[in-house]
A and B are shown apart, each in its own frame.
Chain A
Amino acid sequence: MAVVAINRTTWQRTLGWLQPHRVVLIGIAAALVLSAAFFMRWDWLPDFLGLALQGLWRTIWLLIVTCTLGLMLAIPIGLVQVTGPWYLSLPAKAFCTIIRGTPLLLQLWLLYFGLGSLFPQFPWIRDSFLWPILRQAWPYGVLALTLSYAGYEGEVMRGAFAGVARGQLEAARAFGMSRWKIFRRVWLPQALHRALPTLAGETVLQLKATPLVATITMVDIYSVASRVRQETFITYEPLLLLALVYLTITGILVFAFRKLEARIPQRLG
């Protein structure tokens, strides 16, 4: 982690931002802060703080787990669409089309309610060692979000794999690298680098998709706001805070991806 020092350039940049016309923005921000201080109720916050932190952790955990798993799925899905035989590339294409053509909410409910309603027909599932896990909501949330990310990302990776210059692969072949080594050392790194800007955008979209799991009884940060509304009839304050939390996480994500992109040497393009 780089240490952010308040040096002259940072200071100058701040001053550069404070131009006369920004008075409007600063005024709006001040009005928000003042109304938050004087007209809004925050007395519910201490009671729900523990739950909120738990929910926040759940949201971040979901984001990390589903994006990691989704990307691991997306790489083969993208790859077989570029080089694979038809019996692999066709299902991959169909998977991407289905995932991208139906709402995530519907996929989530199909998995949770749909599969859940099928289980009574198969008594052996109840006796299997997986039953304690299958009875809970989180596997379905993780599965739905992972598949969704894999579907969108598979499409992105397909383009990225196809976009890597042929000459790169031919040169690697000329060096006598094995196919696996070419993939690991040349093709995949360059494809990932190409896909990185899109990946950043998709990851933000994935964060925005996480609150849907609240509809299948998972406790994420969004569900806490709903609970506050149900228990105290306070509507706006939790939602406002929620929007701020998501804005902050998005900001961190964008910043992290920018740093990541800057670390990759440009000659890889």
Chain B
Amino acid sequence: MELLSLSAPGWGVNLLQGLANSIQIAAGAFGLGLMIGICGAWGKLYGGPVVRDLLEVYTTVVRAVPELVLILILYFAGTDLINRLLGAFGYPPTDINGLVAGICVLGVVQGAYSTEVLRGAIQAIPQGQIEAARAFGMSPGLMLRRITLPAMLPFAIPGLANLWLIATKDTALLAIVGFTELTQTTRQAAGTTKAYFTFFMAAGVLYLALTLVSNVVIARIERRSRRGMPPVGAH
């Protein structure tokens, strides 16, 4: 147990630092995914035929190929591309900031799932609300901000909650590319001290705590977004 303490022989601080990194990457990726998702859902529902086709390819490919493969492709290709661009402008190649790379890679993956979740949610809004907004003469941007996004929230929250949990767990995959998030930190600590079982158990407890806390918060948000709506199951 002293291996997990916060003072000198213990690795507690490193694990918590790893957890903080994990949460940062997950939050960033989830946010980026939401932005991509809003644009994507908008494009899929109201975009032109070409835009719809391209988005269809994006969501299909990302949802069918393992995250691990996507992470490798995007990571290698992304760093390669940036370094080539830098080279073209006469700068020396840089090491990409791991946090930013992780957020971008996972964000692109999350975006595909978000697109589908939000599209379903927007389609679940009663049509009369949208028609009323049009009748008031709202511009599309105002309509999105005042009507569509708030009205679709209760429909989108279960799916988005799921996505947030997936985001927190997908950060572990970045350990394979060598980011020092929680799983990678745990692996280093375990390798140094040879106490594999203890450390992986500890990391599991940390992830589980994150999940359970998230669940509580999500339940609150859902209750708030549903205010004024009939309770679930009422017909």
Contact = CB atoms under 8 A, between A and B. Distances in A.
A197 to B, nearest CB: 14
Interface in B182-222: 183, 186-187, 190, 194-197, 200-201, 203-204, 207-208, 211-212
A41 interface: no
Nearest to A25: B53
A246 interface: yes
B57 A247 contact: no
B64 interface: yes
Interface in B125-173: 165, 169-173
B190 A247 contact: no
A116 B191 CA distance: 13
B76 A236 contact: yes
Given A113-B196, A209-B66, A236 B73 contact: yes
Interface string A12-38: 000000010110110010000000000
A204 interface: yes
B68 interface: yes
Contacts of B169: 102-104
Tier of interface size on chain B: 35 or more
A116 B194 CA distance: 11
A211 interface: yes
Contacts of B187: 109
Nearest to A104: B169
Contacts of A235: 76
A180 to B, nearest CB: 31
A contact face: mostly helix, strand, loop, or mixed: helix
Given A101-B207, A117-B194, A110 B201 contact: yes
Given A109-B200, A117-B196, A243 B65 contact: yes
B228 interface: no
Nearest to A117: B196
B76 A118 contact: no
A2 to B, nearest CB: 24
B contact face: mostly helix, strand, loop, or mixed: helix
B172 A105 contact: yes
B64 A204 contact: yes
B194 A24 contact: no
Given A117-B197, A243-B69, A24 B54 contact: yes
Given A101-B211, A236-B77, A114 B53 contact: no
Given A222-B66, A239-B72, A98 B49 contact: no
Contacts of A22: 53
Q: Which of A107, A114, A204, A242 has the most CB of B within 10 A?
A: A114
A207 B211 CA distance: 24
B196 A116 contact: yes
Interface in A208-224: 208-212, 215, 222
A113 B50 contact: no
A250 interface: yes
B224 to A, nearest CB: 24
A83 to B, nearest CB: 21
Contacts of A98: 204, 208
B65 A246 contact: yes
Contacts of B66: 207-211, 222, 246
19 contacts: A24-B50, A24-B53, A102-B204, A102-B208, A103-B183, A104-B169, A106-B183, A106-B204, A113-B200, A117-B190, A118-B197, A207-B66, A209-B66, A211-B66, A215-B176, A243-B65, A243-B73, A246-B69, A247-B61
Interface of B: 48-50, 53-54, 57, 61, 63-70, 72-73, 76-77, 165, 169-173, 175-176, 183, 186-187, 190, 194-197, 200-201, 203-204, 207-208, 211-212
| 6 cross-chain pairs, A with B, having the tightest CB-CB distances, nearest first | A103-B172, A101-B211, A114-B197, A110-B200, A250-B64, A117-B196
Given A101-B207, A109-B196, 17 more contacts: A25-B54, A97-B212, A100-B165, A104-B169, A106-B172, A109-B183, A109-B200, A114-B196, A114-B201, A117-B195, A211-B66, A211-B69, A222-B68, A235-B76, A236-B76, A243-B61, A243-B65
